[in-house]
Structure 1
């Protein structure tokens, strides 16, 4: 076997996106591994630009506050995402994932973007005891201005978090996890508007649990 494909992939994976993150951190995909597909950007320069914005404006500030974050999944090639969609593996269609998990394609409006599914280990023990994901969502909303949207999932309090080029797009926080405060799984932020339950609650009260956790981290 020629070493040239391996050498090329190794060089690509070493591409630095921000202070702590490299492209390799975002390329692993169970779908790709199990099915023998290469999860590699077609448009490397676009993927790097979008991924760098995600890292610098969203992931680095989160990690600065919470310590090491764990990347569950992130970049998907069109081929990997299409297969994930066909297999029912929680992958939206390619068109819906352009400028989302598919970093190397602009969306229908011509904007670029990037999404990663992450876990915050320092928050996990609290979540497993309480089921409270919303406190973390509201902390990020208050402190990480560069995010575009979040979607939370039950295992590990993992969540998709996105950066999007069009800063005018309204923010959304969706969930597949019951909020123990409200007893339902409705979005807590839709098109920039808080849900009825949280609308009258002072922002600091929404994420007070996070401040307690962070005091122990610091």
Structure 2
């Protein structure tokens, strides 16, 4: 019997060799991350006091008030701050700011210069809203992973009262802003864009107290000493 000049090599495939190759090829082609293999990390982990509890505490600070707006400031800092605005029946806006880590109330005030027309508008908006902020957020199903960083009551198209909700998402590390009808609960629009670490809201009329500046140490008055030149030993 003549032997073949090129011996035949028998390759053994592992039990999971083909599925593993197909999975790797699929990931390489799509460029997507399989969250079953690599779970997403938590967005804004320092935000331990969520928006709904912040709204509840702001309303507790101002009896007989309704939610109006809430925003997170310095969200990328170790101790972010919630700025909440609630409205009393006469339309007066009250501001309450809270520690977004432990939920401590840092201060409260009534902004000066609220005109009669501004109070009437605020009272009308809060009176027309039928959905609470948490109910409006419940209508937003995407993204599956994320945290609310801003929510405010405003007037949308055709004078509809809407909750404008901003969510810091994990999957694309960006912000998504939704408009939810505050009466019917219909999601009217979705807008994407912006890094999640910059989720901020404009500060209220009364700013938080800032720590005193520490001056750097003064330099020495005399000229710096010059070391002696190196001289080799004999």
TM-score, normalization: structure 1? 0.25
Structure having the higher strand fraction is 2
TM-score, normalization: structure 2? 0.23
**Higher CA-based Rg:** 2
Structure having the higher helix fraction is 1
